[in-house]
Structure 1
Amino acid sequence: MELRQLTYFEAVARCGGFTRAARQLHVAQSAVSAQIRALESELGVALFTRTTRRVTLTAAGARFLERARAALSELDTARGELAEMSEVLRGRVAIGATSVLGPFDLPTALAGFHGRYPGVALTLRSGLIAALLGRLDAGEVDLVLGPVHDDLPARFTAHPLATESVVLARPPGARPVGTLDGVREEAFVCLSAESGLRAILDVAAKAAGFTPRVQFETSSPASIRELVSAGLGVALIARSAAEREGPPIQVCRLDPSPAHPPIGLIQRRGHRLTAAARACRGHLIESAAG
């Protein structure tokens, strides 16, 4: 039994005749008839009832049609998977990521993806979430990993990967506090006014009844810890950032704890990713889940 025979048989059944099937297949009618006769001979049953006016399936033909279509569908699926795999293997993926990703281990996840698809050209760009979303808009990156704020524009869609929380960082040896109100008179270290972290600080301070005095503004989350460790102020930082190795700080858990947005995988809504980017997205989600 040949694949061509199954293809011709399905076409005759669908078109209701040899002539129409031959036209659709772009082959001679005699070729279609010959292949169907050969198939019937091999199976030992008639698949069609032929008259001068019409061609109809026999009971055996109807049963065989179900199996033939299932086989052809499986073959089409296999062809699609192989084509996508080939596209992945020669693809490129550009990822944007913030430095704060909660418990999600991006380096390990990317190493795992590289091990599975060593031929994919993988690039990583870091920065603050606003700048990375701009790169996503411009098509400079395929995916962005970072905090998913409530005001994420509708042109983006996000898949949650991990949760994150906020703690208060104070200089080493400072008096422990349990509320943000306890440091209302101190200088704050934070990111720029356009950053998500600054919005978290402003909301939490407003709830505590004061306006924070941001005396040290930086563009790097890592430098926040350095400035706090040097005794220049206090800061709200992500818990994962506080738990990393770095300059010593005193970590205070606050009550109430300021809300931190979840960490997610962000992409442009309605934009079809390349095969390589789809494979990378699936791998990152899988890594976060497991």
Structure 2
Amino acid sequence: MEMRQLRHFMAVVTEGGFTAAARAELIVQSALSTSIRNLERELGADLFDRTGRQVVLTEAGRALVPQARALLAGAEAARQVVAAVAGLETGRVAIGTIQTLTCVDLPAELAAFHGEFPGIQVSVRDATVDELTDALRAGELDLAYLAPDARELPEGLTVHATWHEELVLITAPGHRLAGAGRVRISDLTEEPFVDFRAGTGLETAVRRLAAHCGLRRRITCDVTQAGLLVELVRAGIGVAFVPRPIGERAGLPCLAIRQPEPGRTVVLAGRGPRPRNPAATALLDHLMSRATEPPMGGTRPGTSAGRDNARPPRNARGDRLTST
């Protein structure tokens, strides 16, 4: 059994098919299929059910997934130790992010990091909070920006920094509320809404806000991409709650919410106080050294070396926020 074969196997699992996996691994599909077949032959069992249109894991394949993750994580850790000796001239770091991250300009931060460590490859994954949390715990990600809402992070994960994001209501330019500036939750009972699909951190925060205020939203459309949500609102299909910078960048009317003022908590999390991966340590140090101003409309983050010692962050008015 070769690490390359396990990497190809996990690529099919992660990407959902052989074509996408081959593209991600930068090899032709026939070579990836041969690699998987050789692995199946060596293990003596089929790992995927190829009879339908979709590639589905067999029972043997599902049993292999956690072991493959652990072996690949161990191999990557060994490579990173060597990279540390070489002075971070090479290496790889994987960071996850929620799609609607606004408190940090992640592309700009990664560009600055690349300028300092051009030999380190950075892998970025955007997914739901649950998927990012699982990947972080499994060792597939070194760091992740999460929006855990009111839930505590699983044991073993550390919060390095915490931000509070203001949520606003965005509308189409010609909407009856477009020029109001502020709006009460009670004024939205008849409004159609565009929302993210269930499972995203923003959808959870908005759902909790609506339940707290007794607002029964009529969802006319749910999406998985922030850009599409904005364009649907612009077209007049409905209104939506989003972090203020998303609405402002789109040039749409942004209405502040009266009583309560809605928001969500975003954290930068990792496994343990310091990553074992030297490249991840370098990226964490870079991100924390830059987390001194409130970029893109976010509030200044609170930081901690561990979850138990986190300093409660404060919002723009100086109110203390609940630590995750």
Q: TM-score range by the shorter chain?
A: 0.5 to 0.7
Residues 1:89 and 2:92 aligned together: no
Residues 1:199 and 2:204 aligned together: yes
| Greater alpha carbon shift after TM alignment, 97-106 vs 263-272 | 263-272
Deviations 1:27-84 (A, max 9, x none): xxxxxxxxxxxxxxxxxxxxxxxxxxxxxxxxxxxxxxxxxxxxxxxxxxxxxxxx94
| Greater alpha carbon shift after TM alignment, 231-240 vs 159-168 | 159-168
The residue aligned with 1:180 is 185
The one-letter code sitting in structure 2 at the alignment partner of 1:217 is D
> 2: distance between equivalents of 1:146 and 1:139?
16
- TM-aligned CA distance change 1:149 to 1:206, over 3 Å: closer
Identical columns (%): 31
The residue aligned with 1:275 is 278
Which has the greater radius of gyration?
A: 1
Gaps of 5+ in 2: 1-82, 294-324
> 1: distance between equivalents of 2:139 and 2:245?
29
Contact preservation (8 Å) 2:149, 2:205: no
> 2: distance between equivalents of 1:228 and 1:132?
27
Contact preservation (8 Å) 2:191, 2:218: yes
The one-letter code sitting in structure 1 at the alignment partner of 2:241 is L
- TM-aligned CA distance change 1:116 to 1:144, over 3 Å: same
> 1: distance between equivalents of 2:152 and 2:220?
28
Contact preservation (8 Å) 1:167, 1:251: yes
Question: Could you say what secondary structure the match of 1:194 adopts?
Answer: coil
- TM-aligned CA distance change 1:209 to 1:285, over 3 Å: same
Map 1:117-266 → 2, pairs under 5 A: 117-155=117-155, 156-176=157-177, 178-244=183-249, 246=250, 248-266=251-269
Contact preservation (8 Å) 2:93, 2:123: yes
What is the aligned-residue RMSD (CA, Å)? 2.4
Contact preservation (8 Å) 1:171, 1:231: yes
> 2: distance between equivalents of 1:109 and 1:193?
29
| Greater alpha carbon shift after TM alignment, 279-288 vs 124-133 | 124-133
The one-letter code sitting in structure 2 at the alignment partner of 1:198 is E
Contact preservation (8 Å) 2:129, 2:146: yes
Contact preservation (8 Å) 2:94, 2:140: yes
Contact preservation (8 Å) 2:84, 2:278: yes
The one-letter code sitting in structure 2 at the alignment partner of 1:289 is T
> 2: distance between equivalents of 1:258 and 1:214?
22
> 1: distance between equivalents of 2:290 and 2:273?
24
Question: Could you say what secondary structure the match of 1:261 adopts?
Answer: strand
TM-score (norm 1): 0.65
- TM-aligned CA distance change 1:272 to 1:188, over 3 Å: same
TM-score (norm 2): 0.58
Offset of 1:284 from its aligned partner? Answer: 0.7
